[in-house]
Each structure stands twice: as structure tokens, then as C-alpha cells.
A and B are shown apart, each in its own frame.
Chain A
Amino acid sequence: MAASPVQVTGTVLTTRRVDAYHALTVVAPGVADRTRPGHFVGVAVGGPSTSMLTRRAFAIHDVKPDYGGTVELVFTVRGPGTAWLADLRARDTLDLVGPLGRPFPLPRDPCTCVLVGGEYGSASLFALGDALQQRGCRIDFVLGAPSADRLFGALRARRMGETTTLTTEDGSIGMRGKVTDVLPGVIADTRADVVYACGPMAMLQGVTAVAVEFDIPVQVAVEEAMACGIGVCMTCVLPVIGDDGVTRMVRACTDGPVFRGERVRFEDVGTIPFDALGAPGGRHA
């Protein structure tokens, strides 16, 4: 589980546009062979004399054995850091630290899994799907996005999954609506045993609520703003209920990014719940 991360200077192999997103394949031996589905990498942006101090965290979309091991990242341009990444060309170098985080736990016995992806959160689900299928699991995809060009990996999902349900908020592809509108139907039809989800927080909250209603386990990979990705900066915390029932502010980078959905207090993300361990004026203070 706890594969120790390494820092490597990787060479960019290919860059491509995928609808609204960018995909970057980087030769990164050492990172690639340790990666499990759900792991992420911390990427330094801006080159060696950068003024951007924090690393950007990206889920690993794909790992291939070519050239000693490559990883593929999918991202969208959100600021100067990701804009710099989007301008990289083949043979440029990129400083990566990885693999980071705790990967998706896999079921011991074959079962039926629904994989839910929001926007480019679906990127990390395909490696997971492969791993599940190798264990004899049945997988079904539910992918959603605001519009068709922001729906990532629909074709691949159709090839891999037993069924694939697409939703867009503007109705440009698949059903009009959100993944949570169709998820109960998919869970009921497939008699799913477990749900895996990756995407925006609001979606994870909705997916968790559906899974709890069906009383099946749900594993969510959260997106939080991170500075270091290795667990030292303490900025990516969110309230999660521990095994002892106590809520703690835990780091998404080292304690996550994969959590049991029902343990994450989604409605309190961005706050310190009054009953969290060490909260101001709380019962543990």
C-alpha cells in the first residue's frame, strides 16, 4: 500500500488535447512502477527558476510500461501553473514527485462495482477499472459533466464497462442532469456491491448520499487544494470521522485522497466542525 514516493525529472513524451482538457504523458520510471489506481503526483510548475512555490497535484490517469514507465496526467487550465503545463512540448522536462496518497482499496472477491466520474475526475477511474476487471469484478460507468466537451473518457468507458451511463447538465450528450439523478437506477439495475467515485466535492457528496441509501460501501477520491502533496504543509485538510467516531481534520494528501464516503463530512468541508478534535471551544479543547 504505502509505496514510498520518489522525485524524478521526467521527460514529456506526448501532449494532446482531449476536448476541454489537456493530457500529458511523462516518462517517469520509478513513479510509474509504484503507481496503484487512485495515486496522484505532485508536479513542480514554471521551470527551475519558478516563482510558483507550490506543487500542483494531479491524479494519474494512465500508466504504461514504455520507455521504462510513463504516467499520463489529465488537467484543465485554471491558472498560470496549469497554463505553463499546457504549453509544455515533447522532450521538455517535468519535475514530478510520486506516487502520492492512498490508492483505492480493491475488493477481495469479485463483485459488481459502479464507477462514477465527474468531469475529468473520471481520469483516475480507468486504471481502477482495469484492476477491478483483473479481479473478476463487473464494472459499470456513470460519467457526468456540465457539457459534452467536459466529459472525459466516455469512449473508453463504453469499451470497458458492462454499461456506461452519461449525463450532462446541458443535455449535449447522454441524459440531461447530474450523475446522482441516474445513479440510483444504475445501482438497482446492476445490483452493485460497491461504488467508487472521483470528481468535484458536490458530486461526491451526492454520490455518497445515494450509496448510503442503498447501504453499500462507497469510496471517494477527493479534490482539495494542496501545496506540498507529501503531508508536511497541512493545508489540504478536511473533516473526516475516524474509526473511533471522532472527527479529525485529516490531510487529503497522505490520509486520502481516497476515503470512505460516509466518513467524510462533506457539508462541513471548508470549516472546522465544532465537535472536531481540537476545535476551538469544542469538547476536546
Chain B
Amino acid sequence: MLTASGCGGTGRELAQFFDVTRLGAFVTRSITMAPRAGRPTPRMAETPSGLLNAVGLQGPGVEAFLTQELPWLAERGARTVVSIGGGTVAEYTALARRLADAPGVTAVEVNLSCPNVEDRGRVFARDGSSAAEVVASVRAATRYDVPVIAKLAPDVADIVAVARSCVDGGADALAMINTPVGMSVDVDTMRPSLAAGTGGLSGPAIRPLAVRCVWQVHAALPGVPIIGMGGVTSGRDALEFVLAGACAVAVGSALFHDPYACPRIQRELEELLTERGFDRLADAVGLAHHPPGSGPRGRTDLEESSL
């Protein structure tokens, strides 16, 4: 059980409610090289079973992160996945290099949904080759024992192709999905609801989309560990992702509604697995792909789950 990037603050906010070390991992918001003030307000609009947001990666920059936020997590022994975001391949590489000698980094997650300054502002995740270029350079700059996770966006023609490029580029795991781009217009003011116009859609509204992406990628690349996310609010939702092929599940927008969402969903998932006679989560991963009665398949290549 993980927190989704950008949904858990610095960790301190959630620590008021539960022990962050009990998480499979705490995923930070995307860290950028320089401090970022983010987008103007309004940054958030509620939609049916969902949430549009355009925060714009507000954050203190990597130096402040390394001096103020990461040590706090490391002191407590929380497993920390550091999400990084940049506008160029060089910026991602520099960030990965900066994190390489920092203690307490369990894994690096590459947020590929950042506009590529060198490609007319199109996001890296849109195209396999630029995504792979970023992943490969981050992989090269990161210590060998720190996994690199590529976070994919669903707004692509062929998610399997992008996933395959990232794995070929050296990604140890895939996180999916990032928020699809959405928009809402306030009919009273007759203006877009968000100051930025468009924003990322999250929440249960996108769960079917996320499950489809996980399903397709797991079917094509069964050996690659997938962190499933997108509208997980209960143990049943988490199990849906696991059955579709995710070996870990992240909770995002549900944290805004229920600060205790992570421990609650983990408990619910454990109960559901026990009810169904599973001894371990790994036995349920991708099970929906196999017709009932088919023999057990080799799962030696799957990473041990976070549960």
C-alpha cells in the first residue's frame, strides 16, 4: 500500500493520523530542481466521483526537500519513494544524481507527465521514445540498488507501447495511472472552473480507465511489477487492481476524503484476501487474466509485494 504522488503532502500531515512507516512506501509529491510556486487558484474543482486539480507541482525544490523533508521521513524509517519531475531530460538526470547519495531513498519514481520544454511542451509520457530517454538517463544516474519506477499517463494512443519503451529504457517497475487531463466549466461564472483551464482528473471516476491500463500492460508485460492507482477508495477497489495485474496499490484522492484511507484499505484488502483463501498477495496478482481451472503459473519473476 502506497500513497500516490502529490496526495500525501510531506508525510508530516498524514503522520498526525497514522504511522507513515506502516505504509508500503510513502511517495512524495514530484520534486523539481528549483522551488515552484505552482498554479494560481482555484486549483481544484469537484466533479462527479472525482476531482480536477491543477496544482502545478508546487514545491520547495530539491535542496529544501533534501534538508527538510527527506530527513524527517528517513529518521522515522519510512520507506520513501521520491517522485521527480523536470522540463528536460537533463533536469531529470540532475535530480536523479542529486538524490543518488541522499540516504533514505527507497526508490525513484519518474513523473513523466511533465511538459517537455524541448518538445513544444508535450508531456514526456505521450511518446515512448522521449519517456524511454528520461527513464534511461535517470536509471543511469541512480544507484544500482534503488529501483526506478516510471509513472505513465493514460492520455496516450497505446499505453502498452509506452510501457514497453520505459521497461526497455531500464524502468524496474511501472506506476499507473497518472491523472488524465480533464476540464470543467462553471456555468454560473461562464469561465473554466480551474484557473489553469485544464487539470488532472482523479478519484473513482477514473478507476475503470486505470484498471484497463493495468490490465493491458500486465497482459503484455507479465513480468514487470506494476503499482496500480486511480480512484482506490476501499479494499475491494485495491483488489480489483491486484486482480488486473498490479502487485502494489497506491491511494491518492481518497486521502483528501479520509486521512486514514491507507491503513483502512490495507486492512480491508487483507480481509478480502483471507476470505478468498489467499496466503499472500502475490498469489492474487493478475489472477483475473486466467480462466478458472487453469494451472498455477510461474511467478518467480514478480517482485515481493509491499504487504
- Chain A residues in the interface with B (C-beta under 8 A): 4-5, 7, 44, 51-55, 81, 97, 224-225, 227-228, 230-238, 248-249, 254, 269-272, 276-280, 282, 284-285
Contacts and interface: CB of A to CB of B under 8 A. Distances in A.
Given A53-B51, A276-B37, A277-B37, 6 more contacts: A54-B256, A227-B46, A231-B9, A236-B41, A249-B58, A279-B37
Interface string B9-40: 10001101100000000000100001111111
Interface residues of B, number: 42
Contact of A227 (B44, B60, B204): B44
Contacts of B34: 278, 284-285
Contacts of B29: 234
A232 B203 CA distance: 15
Contact of A280 (B37, B53, B256): B37
Contact of B256 (A228, A249, A282): A228
B50 A224 contact: no
B38 A249 contact: yes
A279 B40 CA distance: 10
Contacts of B44: 54, 225, 227, 233, 235
A233 B37 contact: no
Given A53-B51, A270-B41, A270-B195, A284 B35 contact: yes
Contacts of B204: 51, 53
Contacts of A248: 37
Contacts of A234: 6, 9, 29, 38, 43, 55, 58
A267 to B, nearest CB: 13
B49 interface: yes
Nearest to B194: A235
A131 B55 CA distance: 37
A54 B53 CA distance: 12
Contact of B14 (A55, A232, A277, A282): A232
Interface stretch (B120-128, B156-164, B235-243, B257-265): B257-265
Tell which of B13, B38, B41, B60 has the most Cβ of chain A within 10 Å. Answer: B41
B80 interface: no
A272 B38 contact: yes
Contacts of B59: 278
B259 A230 contact: yes
Tell which of B29, B50, B55, B58 has the most Cβ of chain A within 10 Å. Answer: B58
Contact of B61 (A7, A237, A278): A278
B208 interface: no
Nearest to B61: A278
Contact of B203 (A53, A231, A270): A53
B142 interface: no
